[in-house]
Amino acid sequence: MKKLKILVISGFLGAGKTTFIKEMIKSTKREYVIFENEFGDVNIDGEILRNNTEEMKENNQKNGNVELNVWELTSGCACCSTKADFISSLLVIDNTLNPDFLIVEPSGIAILSNILKNVTNADYDRIKVFPPITIIDATTYFKYKNKYVEVFMDQVKMAAHIQLSKIENMTDEELQLIYNDIKLINPNANIFINDYHNQNMDYWNVLFSGELVKIENLDLIDVKNKMQNVTYKNSYADNPAILVSFLDKMILGHYGDINRAKGVFKGFNCNMCFDVVNTNYNIIILENSAENNAVFIGNQIDSELLIRDLDKMKNLKQEI
Instruction: Supply the pLDDT for residue 122.
Output: 61
Instruction: Supply the pLDDT for residue 84.
Output: 61
The one-letter amino acid code at 147 reads: K
Q: Which fold is adopted by the domain 228-319?
A: Hypothetical Protein Yjia; Chain: A;domain 2 (3.30.1220)
Instruction: Supply the pLDDT for residue 18.
Output: 86
- State the CB neighbour count (10 A cutoff) for residue 159: 28
- State the CB neighbour count (10 A cutoff) for residue 158: 25
Q: Residue ranges per domain, the chain?
A: 4-207, 228-319
* Rounded Cα distance, 180 and 177, in Å: 5
Helix (H, G, I), strand (E, B) or coil at 163: strand
Residue 314, classified by CB atoms within 10 Å of its CB into exposed (0-12), middle (13-18) or buried (19+), is middle
Counting every residue written for the chain, the total comes to 320
* Rounded Cα distance, 12 and 16, in Å: 9
Q: What angle do CA 70, 227, 250 make, to 5 degrees?
A: 90
Instruction: Supply the pLDDT for residue 68.
Output: 56
Q: Which fold is adopted by the domain 4-207?
A: Rossmann fold (3.40.50)
* Rounded Cα distance, 22 and 90, in Å: 21
Instruction: Supply the pLDDT for residue 258.
Output: 93
Instruction: Supply the pLDDT for residue 127.
Output: 78
Q: Which residues fall within 8 angstroms of residue 213, CB to CB, at 6 or more apart? A: 116, 131, 132, 157, 158, 159, 160, 188
CA dist list (Å): 297 to 13, 44, 118, 232, 314:
9, 13, 25, 12, 21
- pLDDT tens over the chain, length 320 residues: 677 888 999 999 989 998 899 899 888 888 888 887 655 544 555 454 445 544 544 444 444 444 557 765 544 444 444 456 666 777 777 777 777 788 888 888 888 888 888 776 665 677 788 899 999 999 999 999 999 998 999 999 999 999 999 999 999 999 999 999 999 999 999 999 999 998 999 999 998 887 766 666 666 676 667 788 899 999 999 999 999 999 999 999 999 999 999 999 999 888 999 999 988 999 999 877 667 899 999 988 999 999 999 999 988 765 54
Instruction: Supply the pLDDT for residue 210.
Output: 76
